[in-house]
Homo-oligomer: A and B are copies of this chain.
């Protein structure tokens, strides 16, 4: 009955659902506090108090017909977009205006919108393994073809030599996720400069436009003072997708934006297409109350010291137990080498100690596992003895 495209996805989904249900079953059997569920990237830091204040203030002072109404443009409220543009300009020395910003239903909505605007069937979209597996679905929505660059397991920076060989005349876009899910690695400025140079060269070689789509839900989660390069400054055909899911802990509210800079080829047409895609995909406009909330909270930050503490404790703890992993500089994930080649075995073994983690195969990087440390610090601390038992199995 359902579409052929969906049939495969329903089958795949059953596995994830099974894992989720198993976690719930374990929590019921052993108590939630005795299950170390590191499987989901759902922030557990509360939204800053300013969010609550902003909502109250909006309810008190705004005309509800405007506050909850359709926005004049599908791009969102003009003043919200201007606030976002000005904030970016101040932080990154860019020169955006409201016209360059489209408010979206989170970053997932934004990515679908830009891919809808850009892709013809058969267009190639390059991704660097390991990558967020939903990219495959987003590209498939518009009949694009995902081209994978194999993982560089030395430091998880993208493999640029392989990248260069895989760009073709059909390459329409390249997606980067920085800081990265699932590795927590931040692509360095050096990496980005080299990537931009390759793409510039290939654009000239093929006489095409190749769009660099920067998916940045984790931008604000960077530790040790590391700089996350702002990609529009390195490459003209860059589009940025942002979300407030992690930076303001509002994942369920579905609020983010796309940036299409003037430097993008034929930017006015693309901006027009983005706004229409926002409408016809059924988003229509980003949720209006939350648009105004994020504008009011534009200088607010989530408490990253919370994640940072988890990061240090978990990383140090696992290293001490002999696990191999790259210390993450951003996001809230640790990517750990499985002691056995088939990491699904390792994931299964971890379950015996009530540890729930995600196999790297889910991110096109077998032999590794992802641990999402956006959990309570207590969970981290209490999980370490369980990890110790798990480590013993492989000694």
Contact = CB atoms under 8 A, between A and B. Distances in A.
Nearest to A104: B282
A339 B112 CA distance: 44
A51 to B, nearest CB: 7
A277 B141 CA distance: 10
B42 A64 contact: no
Given A269-B10, A276-B10, A46 B65 contact: yes
A192 B171 CA distance: 49
A352 interface: no
Contact of A3 (B46, B55, B142): B142
A106 interface: yes
A283 to B, nearest CB: 6
Contacts of A285: 252, 254
A190 B55 CA distance: 47
A113 interface: yes
A367 interface: no
B117 A2 contact: yes
A109 B283 contact: yes
Interface string A262-293: 00011001101100110111111111111000
Contact of A283 (B2, B4, B51, B283): B283
A236 interface: no
Q: Which of A71, A110, A116, A286 has the most CB of B within 10 A?
A: A116
Q: Is the interface of A mostly helix, strand, loop or mixed?
A: helix
A9 interface: yes
B110 A282 contact: yes
A70 interface: yes
B105 A141 contact: no
B118 A254 contact: no
Contact of A70 (B42, B55, B113): B42
A111 interface: yes
A284 B55 contact: no
A225 to B, nearest CB: 27
B44 A65 contact: yes
Interface in A10-24: 10, 13, 20
A137 interface: yes
A69 B252 contact: yes
A254 B106 contact: no
B46 A113 contact: no
A89 interface: no
A112 B282 contact: yes
Interface in A26-67: 40, 42-47, 51-52, 55-56, 59, 63-65, 67
Contacts of A20: 72
B282 A281 contact: yes
Interface string A181-219: 000000000000000000000000000010000000000
Given A42-B70, A253-B289, A281-B282, 19 more contacts: A2-B266, A2-B269, A2-B270, A3-B273, A6-B276, A10-B273, A65-B249, A105-B282, A106-B282, A108-B284, A109-B284, A112-B281, A134-B279, A137-B279, A137-B280, A141-B280, A252-B285, A253-B287, A282-B283
8 contacts: A1-B265, A2-B266, A2-B270, A13-B272, A43-B65, A70-B251, A108-B279, A254-B254
